[in-house]
Amino acid sequence: MSERLLVLVRHGQSDWNLKNLFTGWKDPGLTEQGIDEAKAAGQRLKALGLSFDTGFTSDLTRAQNTMKLILAELGQSDLPVTRDQALNERDYGDLSGLNKDEARKQWGEDQVHLWRRSYDVPPPGGESLKDTVARVLPFYNQEILPAVLRGERTIVAAHGNSLRALVMVLDRLTPKTIPSMELATGVPLVYRLKADSTVESKQVLTA
């Protein structure tokens, strides 16, 4: 039986991560550190002897470039990769492009914390984590999960919040516990699934 392998990777550090800005659907590139993180992710996957049959990424270049750098390290630059905005980062609406400290000054610490860390309260003009989950999970169920269950070794390079939606399902987290769960940039999560789509094992490939 071929393995049901699913690897999730949050993109490497972006220019706006470095500047402490709300990013969302804006499209900054990777920093030098972000490039190094993506390459290191590929090296750690290679050290485990992993390779892939298919990949998925978002419509944003920081995730796409992370995927390219990982695949280059694996010698798999020709891997077929599906891009879809269903995997895009949470849309921060009116907060996009603002410095997080400036936002706290404008709206107050408690309000910004509520937007960032509640499950179902969206920022003005944006998406809540609940909204992001509602966008990501149908794509997972229709496109990603069937590939994994067919035995296609699958890698997904996406974003903190779009990957939270997948981790919420895989790790059986709740709306109360998922908002506080942090995903480090460029750190692969290696899942092996059972035939019923539940998790058989999980590895976090930290440096």
Three-point CA angle 63, 66, 68, nearest 5°:
110
CB count within 10 Å of CB 102 equals 14
Three-point CA angle 144, 145, 148, nearest 5°:
90
Backbone angles phi, psi at 157, to 5 degrees: -110, 115
Residues classed as catalytic: 11, 89
3-class secondary-structure state, position 52: coil
